Amino acid sequence: MKKTVKVVAAIIENEHKEILCALRSTTMSIPNMWEFPGGKVEQDEDLHTALIREINEEMKCTIETDEDIFFDHTHEYETFIINLIAIKAKITDGTPVLAEHDKIIWLERKNLSSLQWAPADIPIVEALMEE
């Protein structure tokens, strides 16, 4: 039986209404694909606390999250199942830096589909483009 992993992803928008996109490094699972930054939710950890922690670890900046969940779905990969929960957020301190990813860029919603996204992130991209 495949393991299910609960993951939170940040939809971070800047003052120009661009969204932060992160390229998974060659050392990560699902390498060289784009994703919304975030990470695994630890046992007994609140979703918002997990997302704030993950962005601080991965991007070395502080975020404030929306109360509502933007998107929640489950995707089955070959070796595991991911429950991906996307939450909108804003940076409150610092500037995102590369700590784990190979590249980060800011893109307008209309251009999000130009990237090669990790399969689990595609429904989130579609929902953002329809907003």
**Secondary structure string (H, E, C) spanning the chain:** CCEEEEEEEEEEECCCCEEEEEECCCCCCCCCCEECCEEECCCCCCHHHHHHHHHHHHHCCEEEECCCCCEEEEEECCCEEEEEEEEEEEEEECCCCCCCCCEEEEEEHHHHHHCCECHHHHHHHHHHHHC
Domain at 111, CATH number: 3.90.79.10
Note if the pTM is more than 0.85.
yes
**What is residue 98's predicted lDDT score, i.e. its pLDDT?**
87
**What is residue 1's predicted lDDT score, i.e. its pLDDT?**
84
Structural domain span for residue 119: 3-130
Instruction: Count structural domains, the chain.
Output: 1
**What is residue 18's predicted lDDT score, i.e. its pLDDT?**
96
Question: Consecutive 10-residue runs of the chain (131 residues): their mean pLDDT?
Answer: 94 95 90 95 96 95 96 95 97 92 95 97 96 89
**What is residue 95's predicted lDDT score, i.e. its pLDDT?**
94
